[in-house]
């Protein structure tokens, strides 16, 4: 994993290798600023040459992939073709907490509803007095946009990022329909197949059109078989599971579904209806794009079909971080086999000071102060316990208790009852938890074994 480097005045320089960072620290030329993402500051340097870096994002509902790459372009002497080369520097996966936000808001709603019927039954109902500003998103979704933008800002403080890339849509409708815009190769070439597939998955709701099976590998199916003159147009394509595809074979759809006239009519109607403006389907991604534009950096957008095409062509394993590296126009990716920093949005504690049992009765009360002996829940600490049942070194996220006997959540377990006297803060709580993931190819090898 590349190490982020700041100069004496905390301005970002080019990231360096772990080895170089180790040497700089050993010689006393640098100090550690942060542990995750690992950042050092040079004590004797102001300014320096930087190269253009690009931060690439693959936004997902649960996890957003982050890839920081250095770009270079090579030009073929003979053909004059320009190749876009990427060197992976740093990879991260940001896990959102949309589900947790949704649950706590649901809890609050139930609580208020119950209180209204208990305490304010005679108060007249209010209605039609609430407005939502334009561009409003549910809090759980807004959080995804905000935490992603937050990480773009954080990384900009650590590295000289000059451009962004974001996967904006699942598939590029213009590439499917408008050959003039993207050129014939894009329309008819290999890439078109990926865009078509993503389009069909969306259009047919990722199910087999004939038996309704979900969660199985789906194949592209010609409604009027090609052997009978059926075309490759999107309106003649659907998705079918392996079994249905084989069973249908070369039959026309009318013969195959002659015992199910209702299904036949439905499939024919759905095949003709184009998918509603696919770009507008995902409001989150557009909100993110608009937020990214406010950074002032140039934002390149790509489609999911293109990402998949790049990943398959470059033969990279499927991870969120590597998907991010494949967003947009890429010809080659180098140095992709690096560990990934797993970033988990944890929040900063709860406002409510009363813990409830499952019936809604108070079970206990939380302390009013966030700090206990200088520690705060969420701090990353290292505890060296000299003796006793829990003797040893524990590193992890601390949960403070008023008594001073803390819980530490380490990589594999929660250790309870560690005195504050043994703890030392490694990094202050910042709303995120960190873990290091091994290299993706090691994963791949283990899966294959």
Residues that bind Zn ion (CB under 5 A): 208, 210-211, 213, 241, 244
CB proximity list for 397: less than 8 A, separation 6 or greater: 346, 378, 379, 380, 381, 408, 409, 433
- Give the nearest distance from C-beta 257 to Zn ion in angstroms: 12
- Give the nearest distance from C-beta 244 to Zn ion in angstroms: 3
Which C-beta is closer to Zn ion: that of 256 or that of 375? 256
Contact 61, 144 (CB under 8 A): yes
Which C-beta is closer to Zn ion: that of 213 or that of 399? 213
Closest CA to 348 of 406, 381, 415, 397: 397
Closest CA to 3 of 48, 34, 29, 27: 34
**d(C-alpha 203, C-alpha 173), whole Å:** 12
**d(C-alpha 240, C-alpha 4), whole Å:** 48
Tokens read off for 76: 């073929």
- Chain centroid offset of residue 321 CA: 8
- Give the nearest distance from C-beta 200 to Zn ion in angstroms: 14
Which C-beta is closer to Zn ion: that of 208 or that of 316? 208
Place of tokens 């907490």: 97
Which C-beta is closer to Zn ion: that of 63 or that of 241? 241
- Give the nearest distance from C-beta 191 to Zn ion in angstroms: 27
Closest CA to 311 of 149, 86, 55: 86
Which C-beta is closer to Zn ion: that of 51 or that of 260? 260
Could you tell me which residues are beta bridge partners of residue 207? Answer: 214
Closest CA to 223 of 242, 236, 205: 236
- Give the nearest distance from C-beta 89 to Zn ion in angstroms: 44
Contact 11, 30 (CB under 8 A): no
Q: How many residues does the chain have?
A: 449
Which C-beta is closer to Zn ion: that of 241 or that of 278? 241
Which C-beta is closer to Zn ion: that of 89 or that of 208? 208
Contact 71, 90 (CB under 8 A): no
- Give the nearest distance from C-beta 93 to Zn ion in angstroms: 34
- Give the nearest distance from C-beta 242 to Zn ion in angstroms: 8
CB proximity list for 43: less than 8 A, separation 6 or greater: 8, 28, 29, 30, 31
**d(C-alpha 387, C-alpha 390), whole Å:** 7
- Give the nearest distance from C-beta 265 to Zn ion in angstroms: 18
Which C-beta is closer to Zn ion: that of 141 or that of 240? 240
Which C-beta is closer to Zn ion: that of 115 or that of 242? 242
- Give the nearest distance from C-beta 239 to Zn ion in angstroms: 9
Contact 139, 99 (CB under 8 A): no
């Amino acid at each position: 994993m590349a190490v982020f480097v700041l100069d004496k005045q905390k301005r970002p320089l080019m990231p360096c290798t772990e080895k170089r960072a180790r040497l700089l620290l050993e010689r006393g030329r640098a100090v550690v600023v942060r542990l995750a993402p690992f950042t050092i500051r040079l004590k004797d340097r102001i300014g320096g040459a930087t190269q253009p870096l690009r931060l690439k994002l693959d936004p997902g509902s649960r996890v957003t992939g982050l890839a920081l790459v250095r770009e270079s372009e090579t030009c073929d002497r003979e053909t004059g073709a320009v190749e876009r080369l990427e060197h992976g520097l740093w990879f991260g996966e940001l896990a959102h907490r949309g589900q947790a936000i949704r649950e706590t808001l649901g809890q609050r709603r139930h609580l208020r509803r119950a209180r209204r019927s208990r305490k304010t039954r005679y108060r007249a109902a209010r209605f039609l007095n609430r407005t939502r500003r334009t561009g409003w998103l549910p809090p759980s979704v807004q959080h995804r946009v905000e935490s992603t933008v937050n990480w773009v800002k954080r990384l900009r403080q650590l590295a000289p990022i000059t451009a962004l890339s974001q996967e904006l849509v699942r598939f590029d409708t213009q590439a499917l329909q408008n050959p003039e815009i993207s050129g014939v190769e894009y329309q008819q070439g290999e890439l078109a197949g990926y865009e078509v597939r993503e389009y069909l998955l969306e259009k047919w709701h990722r199910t087999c059109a004939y038996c309704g099976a979900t969660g199985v590998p789906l194949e592209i199916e010609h409604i009027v078989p090609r052997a009978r003159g059926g075309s490759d147009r999107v309106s003649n394509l659907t998705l079918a599971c392996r079994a249905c595809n084989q069973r249908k074979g070369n039959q026309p759809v009318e013969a195959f579904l002659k015992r199910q006239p209702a299904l036949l009519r439905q499939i024919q109607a759905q095949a003709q209806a184009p998918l509603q403006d696919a770009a507008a389907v995902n409001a989150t991604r557009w909100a993110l794009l608009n937020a990214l534009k406010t950074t002032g950096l140039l934002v390149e957008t790509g489609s999911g079909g293109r990402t998949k095409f790049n990943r398959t062509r470059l033969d990279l394993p499927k991870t969120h971080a590597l998907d991010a590296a494949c967003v947009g126009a890429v010809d080659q990716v180098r140095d992709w086999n690096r560990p990934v920093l797993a970033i988990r949005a944890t929040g900063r504690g709860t406002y409510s000071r009363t813990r409830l049992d499952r019936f809604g009765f108070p079970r206990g009360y939380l302390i009013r102060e966030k700090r206990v002996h200088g520690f705060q829940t969420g701090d990353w600490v290292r505890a060296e316990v000299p003796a006793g049942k829990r003797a040893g070194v524990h590193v992890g996220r601390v949960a403070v208790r008023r008594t001073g006997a803390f819980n530490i959540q380490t990589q594999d377990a929660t250790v309870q009852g560690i005195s504050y006297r043994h703890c030392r803060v490694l990094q202050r709580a910042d709303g995120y938890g960190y873990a290091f993931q091994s290299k993706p190819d090691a994963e791949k090898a283990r899966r294959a074994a």
